[in-house]
Amino acid sequence: MVERQERRLLAWYEEYGRDLPWRRTRDPYAILVSEVMLQQTQVERVVPRYEAWLERWPTVESLAAATRAEVIRAWQGLGYNRRAVNLHLAAEIVARSGWPDDLTELPGVGRYTEDAVRRFAFHEAVLPLDTNVRRVQERTSASFSPTATHALMDLGATLCLARIPRCGYCPLAVECPSRGRRYEPLRKQSRFEGSFRQRRARILRLVAEEARPLASLDEPVVAALARDGLVAVDEGVVRLP
């Protein structure tokens, strides 16, 4: 059954798979950029930012040569700005020493991101387990080979949805034990409006525009941003590092 299900899945992907720019490259740097951007950010928002990023910094060496301030400014609007710092630090390491055997040694790179780079850049036989891939495997009670990685991601993102799967359109539904099932709402993320995250985003945006006196800013937020390497405080003035 598993081989039959994978054949169905791959046939569906051939017709309905998403055409995403990072799927047209084997460059590990470009793939790392896409994976870091896609962490907690929707695909539709990432595509234009990914293309603009690679136009500005087409190689890992060019990103490593950029200033931290340039990188943080370019990241504005993608959220979770610590990702920009980690990506810049990773680029500096790779430009200096090459890609490590263990990619999780790079800042901000965990098990999934390492597997994604190995699969999509180095074509290694690993199956990166993101939320969509896990969901499809759990609901179908099937295992799939690394060949089906992109297909699994797209099925989970477009049909095998978290709450109300679109089973009537799913190529795996005929043998899926979860067909027709509905799921409880996922735990909602805390509200952004009025949150500490919103305060962080506002202060970072102000400092990205120009250096500001510490006394004019939200000092607990500045302290948190400084711990994350997103701002520097010198003689009472807050600026990008």
Q: Is 227's pLDDT higher than 70?
A: yes
Q: In angstroms, how far apart are the furthest CA atoms of the chain?
A: 67
Q: Is 157's pLDDT higher than 70?
A: yes
pLDDT at position 189 is: 62
pLDDT at position 224 is: 95
- Which domains does the chain carry? 1-17+125-186 (1.10.1670.10), 27-120 (1.10.340.30), 196-239 (no CATH)
The whole-angstrom separation of Cα 55 and Cα 199 is 31
Find all residues with CB under 8 Å of 173, minimum gap 6, and list them: 167, 179
CB 156 within 8 A of CB 165: no
Placement of tokens 């990432």 in the chain: 46
pLDDT at position 219 is: 93
| 184-198: pLDDT as tens digits | 876 666 677 778 888
Q: Is 179's pLDDT higher than 80?
A: yes
3-class SS of residue 233: strand
CB 103 within 8 A of CB 109: yes
Beta strand segments in 65-113, E: none
Q: Is 158's pLDDT higher than 90?
A: yes
Closest CA to 107 of 117, 120, 93, 118: 93
CB 126 within 8 A of CB 146: yes
The amino acid occupying position 135 is R
Would you state the structure tokens that stand for residue 54, as one six-digit string? 């690679």
Q: Name beta bridge partners: 233.
A: 238
3-class SS of residue 12: helix
- Name the DSSP letter for residue 160: S
pLDDT at position 90 is: 98
Q: Which residues are identified as catalytic?
A: 35
Q: Is 1's pLDDT higher than 90?
A: no
pTM over 0.75: yes
pLDDT at position 193 is: 73
Find all residues with CB under 8 Å of 15, minimum gap 6, and list them: none
